Amino acid sequence: MEARKLILTGDRPTGNLHLGHYIGVLKSRVEQQYTHNQYILVADVQALTDYYETPQRVVENSLEVVKDYLAVGIDPQISTILIQSQIPAIAELTIYYMNLVSVSRLERNPTVKNEIAQKGLGKTLPIGFLNYPVSQAADITAFGGELVSGGEDQIPMIEQTNEIVRKFNRMYNTNCLKEASIYLSKVPRLVGIDGKAKASKSLNNAIFLSDPPEVIKEKVFAMFTDANHLKVSDPGMVDGNVVFTYLDAFCEDKDEIDSLKLKYQKGGLGDATLKSLLNDLLQNMLQPIREKRRLLSREYILDVCYDGTSRARKVSEVILNDVRNAIGINFFNKVKK
Amino acid sequence: MEARKLILTGDRPTGNLHLGHYIGVLKSRVEQQYTHNQYILVADVQALTDYYETPQRVVENSLEVVKDYLAVGIDPQISTILIQSQIPAIAELTIYYMNLVSVSRLERNPTVKNEIAQKGLGKTLPIGFLNYPVSQAADITAFGGELVSGGEDQIPMIEQTNEIVRKFNRMYNTNCLKEASIYLSKVPRLVGIDGKAKASKSLNNAIFLSDPPEVIKEKVFAMFTDANHLKVSDPGMVDGNVVFTYLDAFCEDKDEIDSLKLKYQKGGLGDATLKSLLNDLLQNMLQPIREKRRLLSREYILDVCYDGTSRARKVSEVILNDVRNAIGINFFNKVKK
């Protein structure tokens, strides 16, 4: 039997997870855990590069995100859920890698460039932020990640990681670091309830896994449909209609969707009826997730994090030791332990 | 009895120590160890930011430098000698501090600016090098350094450290980090044997504590004296005469120096005689240091490093724990240990 490949995935704990995550990464992770050796990194240190002024929120969000993982079916016995800040090897690897990457190389990184432009940071950006691709290389290599699960925006990060890996291995004449590949998840992007952009916390246009029933209903009824569909008898547009987008994403019965679409396009299906259908569907889908969330105590979540982090820490320490041996700075290895 | 102040000092292990170090920092450290709680940091990780391609040299130099310390009279029972790479807390502190310092602030640091210009690095400089003042802030704070021993060039580094300390304490509403002050050592700069610049390894104009007798003699006889002092009977210049500079620095008998100077200025004292005098003096001074060096085994040096580093590591872990508590990311503290 071939060993399962180690796949790394994770989230910056900057808020609860929503339906966009559910249809995308969360469902993939539930499947991947049976085919891969899956590590799910709660990247709290990375979140602190942005939210260093509100660390308490980062900690709370970390625990909430893990709650979401368990509620959707990620099994902490199979997947390794770990808290980044509790893995000291990542910091040490980052420091060593920082000698191998130039400032100009980092300034050319598309993700960094983009974020700097978006946030209007310019030269006021903290060095911790500029260094983010190096930290991510440490995250990936700390556990010997062979695959990194993510979208196309992750590709430049993996390229940077592999540059470091090759440079390190060549310089120190070793093969202790492994290159990683992208594992492009077929992540359908879910549009927000306003239909304008993808669902996101910051745009306040997402339905969260933790939303109570009345909030879900409110959000469904606020969804953008077709601005010209005023009366029930009017013919309506299906394209760009958020309710249908969500039905396509979450309703298993494709025949039913098709007949609804026909009816809507002809005229005779009101938005309120349509939204009620979607509301029922989402309520049924989210109710057990929310119920499971409710049953998960803070103590249990901390236990899960502790166990996963302890397993991951052991793996990372073996790799850090290899790296230090390769550089040749394990002073005391031969003397005593 | 008041507690002794913690003073931090140290070296980048880029080569053996020479007479310039001896007359300057080494003698101060031998005295300071009886009045302060002295930590001597062998900054191997910092040396790696320049010498990452030849780590083995950094390791060997680290052990040689410690040998020099012990040979001149630093007592490892009183002073804490520690190897930077063996203190993981420094890497973690560095990562947290990196969020508090902007790229432009680092680019304005005079030491960084200077080194970039000297090495012609421009934008190809590694981010590890740009980040050097942040790493140094971690070095200083990791042990609660109250005083940092050094020359005026250290002042901008301590300012950067104190900026981080104030920002951290204010942001996380704590006082767990302490500001540090410079402890300006009255370090007379020793000129090189060529008389052109200060003694340094890279200029190959220094006499090393580890130099064998014949090399010392050779270097003394190669010293610059007075280009116009051709015959013994010629009057000679004392100012700018390297032999007299070294006599001033190392000869205890000030009356003898004065009479030698007079004789030299009048004419009648040859360079060879003068150099023989200095040679005898340095041979007598360096012989016991070299002898002590010879008796120190590699195993003993490693033991000394291990003991000092272990003591320092405990101190650094308490401080790192305070820092993590202040940020609020000690997830598992209340759960289990």
CA distance B24 to B13: 17
Q: Tell me what percent of chain A is helix, strand and coil, each rounded to the nearest 5.
A: 55, 10, 35
Tokens matching residue B331: 């997830």
CB B50 within 8 Å of CB B20: no
Mean pLDDT across the stretch B158-175?
96
Cα distance from B153 to chain A (closest Cα, Å)?
23
Cβ contact (<8 Å) for B98 and A126?
Answer: yes
Question: With contacts defined as CB-CB under 8 Å, which chain A residues touch B332?
Answer: 86, 302, 305-306, 309
Model pLDDT for residues A121-180, shown as the tens digit of each residue: 777 889 999 999 999 999 999 999 999 998 888 899 999 999 999 999 999 999 999 999
Closest by Cβ to B101, choosing from A103, A127, A135? A127
Percent of chain A with pLDDT over 70: 98
* Closest residue on chain B to A107 (Cα): B123
Model pLDDT for residues A192-234, shown as the tens digit of each residue: 999 888 888 778 899 999 999 999 999 999 999 998 888 899 9
Mean pLDDT across the stretch A262-266?
94
Cα distance from A327 to chain B (closest Cα, Å)?
6
Cβ contact (<8 Å) for B95 and A91?
Answer: yes
Q: Which pLDDT score is estimated for A187?
A: 61
Q: Is B227 helix (H, G, I), strand (E, B) or coil?
A: coil
DSSP assignments along B64-87, one per residue: HHHHHHHHHT--TTTSEEEEGGG-
Q: Which pLDDT score is estimated for B118?
A: 80
B310 Cβ neighbours under 8 A, 6+ residues apart: none
Q: Which pLDDT score is estimated for A213?
A: 97
Cα distance from A244 to chain B (closest Cα, Å)?
42
Average pLDDT across chain B, whole number: 91
Question: With contacts defined as CB-CB under 8 Å, which chain A residues touch B172?
Answer: 55
Cα distance from B304 to chain A (closest Cα, Å)?
11
Q: Which of B102, B81, B101 lies closest to B93 in space, CA to CA?
A: B101
CB B294 within 8 Å of CB B211: no
Distance (Å) of CA A30 to CA A1, A26, A282, A283: 22, 6, 19, 21
Taking 90 as the threshold, does the pLDDT of residue B53 lie above it?
Answer: no
Q: Which of B200, B264, B197 lies closest to B232 in space, CA to CA?
A: B264
Percent of chain A with pLDDT over 90: 74
Q: Which pLDDT score is estimated for B229?
A: 87
CA dihedral of B103, B105, B111, B115, whole degrees rounded to 10: 30
* Closest residue on chain B to A45 (Cα): B96
CA distance B197 to B64: 24
Domain boundaries, chain A: 6-190+297-327, 213-293
Closest by Cβ to B127, choosing from A134, A306, A335? A134
Taking 80 as the threshold, does the pLDDT of residue A188 lie above it?
Answer: no
Fold that domain A6-190+297-327 belongs to in CATH? Rossmann fold (3.40.50)
Q: Which residue in A97, A121, A329 has the most chain B C-beta atoms within 10 A of its own C-beta, making it the best mutation to test that interface?
A: A329
CB A274 within 8 Å of CB A248: no
Predicted ipTM?
A: 0.88
Q: Which pLDDT score is estimated for A336?
A: 43
Cα distance from A113 to chain B (closest Cα, Å)?
14
Q: Which of A322, A7, A333 lies closest to A175 in space, CA to CA?
A: A322
Model pLDDT for residues B78-101, shown as the tens digit of each residue: 999 999 999 999 999 999 999 999
Cα distance from B321 to chain A (closest Cα, Å)?
12
Closest by Cβ to A126, choosing from B101, B305, B327? B101
Q: Which pLDDT score is estimated for B336?
A: 43
Length of chain A: 337
Q: Which pLDDT score is estimated for A255?
A: 95
Cβ contact (<8 Å) for B331 and A305?
Answer: yes
Cα distance from A207 to chain B (closest Cα, Å)?
28
Taking 70 as the threshold, does the pLDDT of residue B67 lie above it?
Answer: yes
CA distance B309 to B302: 10
Question: With contacts defined as CB-CB under 8 Å, which chain B residues touch A83?
Answer: 331
Q: Which pLDDT score is estimated for B337?
A: 40
Model pLDDT for residues B174-215, shown as the tens digit of each residue: 999 999 999 987 667 889 999 888 888 778 899 999 999 999
CB A45 within 8 Å of CB A85: yes
CB B150 within 8 Å of CB B26: no
Cβ contact (<8 Å) for B127 and A129?
Answer: no
CATH class of the structural domain B213-293: mainly alpha
Model pLDDT for residues B259-315, shown as the tens digit of each residue: 999 999 999 999 999 999 999 999 999 999 999 999 999 999 999 999 999 999 999
Closest by Cβ to B59, choosing from A125, A129, A329? A329
Q: Which pLDDT score is estimated for B335?
A: 43
* Closest residue on chain B to A48 (Cα): B99
Band (A337; pLDDT cuts 50, 70, 90) = very low
Cβ contact (<8 Å) for A55 and B335?
Answer: no
* Closest residue on chain A to B320 (Cα): A88
Cβ contact (<8 Å) for B126 and A100?
Answer: yes
Closest by Cβ to A104, choosing from B52, B88, B124? B124
Closest by Cβ to B328, choosing from A59, A95, A103? A59
Q: What is the CA radius of gyration of chain A?
A: 23
Token pair 């970039």: residue: B116
Q: What are residue A122's phi and psi, to 5 degrees?
A: 55, -140
Cβ contact (<8 Å) for B126 and A96?
Answer: no
Question: Which CATH number is associated with domain B6-190+298-327?
Answer: 3.40.50.620
Model pLDDT for residues A10-58, shown as the tens digit of each residue: 999 988 899 989 988 899 999 999 999 999 999 999 898 788 888 889 9
CA dihedral of B206, B210, B215, B219, whole degrees rounded to 10: 20
Band (B150; pLDDT cuts 50, 70, 90) = confident
